Each structure stands twice: as C-alpha cells, then as structure tokens.
Amino acid sequence: MSTPHTPATSTDTPKPGPAGKLRRCLRMPIGVQSIIAVGLGALLGTFAPSAGEQMKILGDVFLNLVQVVVLPLVFPLIVLGIARMESVKKVGRIAGKAILYFELVTTVILLIAVGLAKFTGIGKDAPVAGADARDLEGMSQGIDFHELILHAVPKNIFAAFGEGNLLGAITFALLVGVAMAAIGEKAKPFADVLESVSTVMFKVVGYVIRVAPLGVLGFISYDVAHYGFGNLRSLAGFVAVVYAGLAVVIGVLFPLIATLYRIRYVALLKSIGNLAGIAFVTRSSESVLAPLMSRLEAFGLSRSTTSFVVPLGYSFNTDGSVLYQAAALVFLANAYGADTSLPALLLMVGVLVILSKGMAGVASASVVVLIAAGNSVGLPAQGVALLLGVDFIVDMARTGVNVIGNSLAAAVVDSSEKRREAKRGGRDTSRDPVAPAATAPQKESVQ
C-alpha cells in the first residue's frame, strides 16, 4: 500500500510570530537598534510631545545603570594598571605625557574654534534680547579651584564613590596602585580580588549596554518634545559652526596626530565608532567608558596605559566641549558687540585653557565653564541662557568627539611608550605600535 505523500514542511512553516520578530530585533547590532530608536524618539517627540517628555525616565534609568557600574570598574582597572607597571617612575612618565598631550591638543582646538567663529562672524544678528537669565538659576557663576583640588583629593573614599567622584577615585587608585607596586608579591591576593571584580563588572557593563537603545529612545523623545526645533532655526549658524569645527578636529587634526604617531586612525574609528555613536545620542561619555577601555585594549593598546589615560582624559581632555565653549564665547562677543580683536580672542583662549581643566565633577560642566569664562571677559550670562535652547543639539556632537579624542590620546601615549621600549630593546621594532594584539583579553562584546 502506498503511503500518502507528505507535503514539504518548508511550505507549511508558519510565519514567525511577535516573539520571533522581537528576537530578530534583539540580534541586530546595538548601533542599528540605536538608529531605529532615534527615529522612533523623534516621531514620538514630534507628534506626541506629552508622551515624549514622559519617556525621559528611560534615559535616566539607563544613565543610572551606567553610572552605578563606572567607578566599581574604573577603580580596579586603574589600580591594576599602575601596580603592573615596572616602576613608579613609569607612572609619572605616562601621567606627564598624557597631561602634556591634553594641554597641547586642547590649545590647538581652541585656536581652531576661535578662528572659525571669527571668520564666519557668527552671533552678529543673534536675538540676545530674548535670552532669559532665569534659565541659569541654580548654576554656579564660576569655578572654585580650591574646591576642585579638594574634589580631586577626597577625605572619604566611600563618600567619593557615593558621589560618583571620578577624579577623586583616580587619585585614590593612583595611591593604591603605587603602594601595591612597592610591596610586590604581598599585594598579589588583593590584585586577584581586583581582577575578579573587574571581570564581573565588564560582564555587568555588557548587560547594561544591551538596553542602550531604550535610553536613546527616552532621551531623543524628551529632547524633541521639550526643546522642539524653533531655537535651532534662529541659532542655526552657531550650530553649523560648532559642527564644522568638530568635523575639522575629527577629519584633519586627529588624523595628523595619528599619522605623526603611526596610529591607524581609520581602524581606530571603526573599532570605537558605535561607542561614540552611543555617547552621541545619550549625551553622556560615561555611558561608554567601560566598554571603551575594553575596545581599546582589544585594538592593541596596553591595559596599563588605557586604564590610566582614558579615565584621566575624561576629566582633563574634553576636546569637543572646549571647541563648543570657544565658539560660544565668540558668538556672544559678536552678539553683544564686544571686542573681538586678536588680543581679545587670545585672552579668551587663555581663559578657556585654564577653566576647561576645572570641568571634572561640575554639573552642567560646559555651561558652567562658559559662564565663568564669559564673566572673565565681561560677557553677560543672559547670552549663555540663549544658547541653552540648542545646547542639546551641540552637546551630542561634542560628547561623541570627547570619546574619540580620549581614545586617540590613549593611543598616542601607548605608542610613545612602545617606541621608547623598542629603542631600549624591550620590544620588536618591526611591530606596528598599535596593531591589534592577537592575545588581547576578550571582554564582553558590544556590537
């Protein structure tokens, strides 16, 4: 007896249900999910502004998740990085190179920003009469350097951790790492504990980054609903100059620096590009601090250099932010008819070189520094209030550039150290200074 023919099951396979579609969406790279979240957030903020403003809680939850893990990860990485250096002298040398690099690059970026803003004449027709100084209520009108120093040297490390004091944690980690290097083998049990903590924290970071698109959705929905696009049209020239300046930094200055130190800049951008994108849309460089260090280590940078230079750069190397501040000062000077001669512009640069180093740990840091710098050169705070309407738009770009700038800084310092070791016979001189290491430790992947 012949058996009935069974139809091919491929034609009868049911279409995937909602659960299957959701799984496919979750398998998409984080960058793609974030782009989709940007589009959905913009639509929600435009057509349902009341709901869009309520979505901010998603962004706040995401940032809270990020901030809760930053110090528990950064602290052991810095301690272990310093403890594993050959000597305290090397710690001082790396710190010196990093700070010198920060100062030189920051000054060049300030000059680029001031020159570009002066050339374009932004601000001459700005509606400064519509600025409302009440928008600045509660913000500091200056930076207390006495408090900044105390902020960097906390009296209670547990309080510093509770406050999210990254600069204070770096100082304490530096002391602990130097002490561990000094006592040698006796510090191994503590080093093992810190290594275990950092491994666990990297895993936690992987979990947190998976929900980044929800944070993006929340922030974009809120920004579009709350700010709208009206101020963007009136201040389009300022926004355009800031973005052009940041493009010059990324597309001209950074490649020149990378060429000088034989760093594969395009490869570096590909390695960290989606992390810079997450920082762009969340407007928080802290949101990618932990995976950034892991990504740079996989790129070929030594852990000891990366774990020290990157967190230090978060406090002292805010390339995108200082460019924004310089362009904003020229904008305000033009708007109020203040002096924009060469000596006046150089004075602005000098003030910002000093004040920008006081940004660490200050709420609304870029705006606070801008107010302090404006006061120093005689510009009223009301003009700064005008710029708050488009601050979220330029904040995204300057935050993304901050991430790229700190990655390049770590690569430069690491390349310099490897060249020094190669000259002393410690390394094979034929090796690419920043070629990806085949044996680089693998951390939680962030696609």
pLDDT tens digits for 152-189? 788 888 888 887 777 788 788 888 988 888 888 888 89
Helical ranges in 228-364 per DSSP H: 230-234, 236-248, 254-260, 265-282, 289-299, 303-316, 319-335, 342-355
Whichever domain contains 195, its CATH number is 1.10.3860.10
Both tokens of residue 426? 């410690």
Tens of pLDDT, residues 321-333:
889 888 988 888 8
| 447 inside domain | no
Q: What is the pLDDT of residue 414?
A: 92
Tens of pLDDT, residues 11-42:
444 555 555 555 665 567 766 787 788 788 88
| 21 inside domain | no
C-alpha distances (whole Å) from 111 to each of 108, 198, 228, 336, 415 are 5, 39, 32, 21, 26
Could you tell me if 13 and 257 are in contact, meaning their C-beta atoms sit under 8 angstroms apart? no
| 9 inside domain | no
Amino acid in position 61: V
Among 218, 288, 279, smallest CA distance to 60 is for 218
Burial tier of 441 (Cβ tally within 10 Å: 0-12, 13-18, 19+):
exposed
| 410 inside domain | yes
Q: What is the pLDDT of residue 193?
A: 93
Rounded to two decimals, the pTM is 0.68
Could you tell me if 360 and 439 are in contact, meaning their C-beta atoms sit under 8 angstroms apart? no
| 273 inside domain | yes
Question: 246: domain range?
Answer: 29-423
| 358 inside domain | yes
Query: How high is the mean pLDDT in each 10-residue block of the chain (447 residues)?
Result: 49 54 62 78 87 86 78 81 70 85 91 90 68 46 60 83 78 87 87 89 80 81 72 72 94 95 93 88 80 90 87 83 88 82 81 64 56 69 67 83 93 90 60 41 42
Other CB atoms within 10 A of residue 251 CB: 9
Q: What is the pLDDT of residue 409?
A: 94
Which residues, in sequence order, are CB contacts of 84 under 8 Å at separation 6+? 181, 303, 304
Question: How many folded domains does the chain comprise?
Answer: 1
